[in-house]
A and B are shown apart, each in its own frame.
Chain A
Amino acid sequence: MTPEHNNAIAVRRLKKSLGGKEVLRGVDLEIRRGETMVIIGQSGCGKSVLLKHIVGLHFPDQGEVFIDGQPLNGVSTSERLKLLSEFGMLFQGAALFDSLTIAENVAFRHIQSRKYSQKEMDRIVAEKLEMVGLSGIAHLKPAELSGGMQKRVGLARAIAADPKFILYDEPTTGLDPIMADQINDLILHMQEVLNVTSIAVTHDMVSAYKIADRISMLYQGQVIETDTPDRIQRSKNPYVRQFIRGEAYGPITTVRPFGYTGPSGTKGGKHEAPQ
Chain B
Amino acid sequence: MIRFVGAKTLDFVTQLGEISLLLFETVRNTFRRPFPRRNFFEQIVKIGWNSLPVTFFTAISTGAILALQTGYAMMANVKGTEHFVGGVVALSVTRELGPILCAIMIAGRAGSGITAEIGTMKVTEQIDALVTLSANPVHYLIVPRVLAGVIVLPLLTLFTDLVAIFGGMLVAFLEMGLNETQYIETTLRMLTISDINNGLIKSVVFGLLITLIASFEGFRTKGGAEGVGKSTTRSVVMICMSILFFDYVLTSLLTTSF
Total interface residues in chain A, CB < 8 Å: 22
Q: Is B174 an interface residue (CB 8 A)?
A: no
A81 touches B134 (CB 8 A): yes
Which chain A residue shows the least CB distance to B120?
Answer: A98
Question: Given that A89-B129, A91-B129 are known contacts, is A84 also in contact with B124, CB under 8 Å in the complex?
Answer: no
**A126-161 Cβ-contact flags toward B at 8 Å (1 or 0):** 000000000000000000000000000000010000
Inter-chain CB contacts under 8 Å: number: 45
Interface of chain B: mostly helix, strand, loop or mixed: helix
B133 touches A95 (CB 8 A): no
- B121, B126, B128: the one contacting A52 at CB < 8 Å is B128
**B128-170 Cβ-contact flags toward A at 8 Å (1 or 0):** 1111111100001000000000000000000000000000000
**A74-96 Cβ-contact flags toward B at 8 Å (1 or 0):** 00000001001101110111011
Q: Is A109 an interface residue (CB 8 A)?
A: yes
Cα distance, A250 to B126, chains bound together (Å): 37
On chain B, the residues within 8 Å of A57 by CB distance are 128, 131-132
On chain B, the residues within 8 Å of A95 by CB distance are 124-126, 128-129
B133 touches A92 (CB 8 A): no
On chain A, the residues within 8 Å of B130 by CB distance are 97
On chain B, the residues within 8 Å of A93 by CB distance are 124-125
Q: Is B6 an interface residue (CB 8 A)?
A: no
Q: Is A112 an interface residue (CB 8 A)?
A: yes
On chain B, the residues within 8 Å of A183 by CB distance are none
Q: Is A251 an interface residue (CB 8 A)?
A: no
The 7 closest A-B pairs by CB, nearest first: A95-B129, A95-B125, A89-B132, A91-B125, A95-B126, A109-B133, A108-B133
> 9 new A-B pairs (CB below 8 Å) besides A98-B126, A157-B133?
A55-B132, A57-B132, A84-B134, A89-B132, A91-B125, A95-B125, A95-B126, A97-B121, A97-B130
- For this complex, 30 residue pairs linking A to B, each with C-beta atoms less than 8 Å apart, are A52-B128, A55-B132, A56-B131, A56-B132, A57-B131, A57-B132, A81-B134, A84-B134, A85-B134, A88-B132, A89-B132, A91-B128, A91-B129, A93-B125, A95-B124, A95-B125, A95-B126, A95-B128, A95-B129, A96-B126, A96-B129, A97-B121, A97-B129, A98-B126, A108-B133, A109-B134, A112-B134, A112-B140, A114-B34, A157-B133
Chain A contact residues, CB within 8 Å of chain B: 52, 55-57, 81, 84-85, 87-89, 91-93, 95-98, 108-109, 112, 114, 157
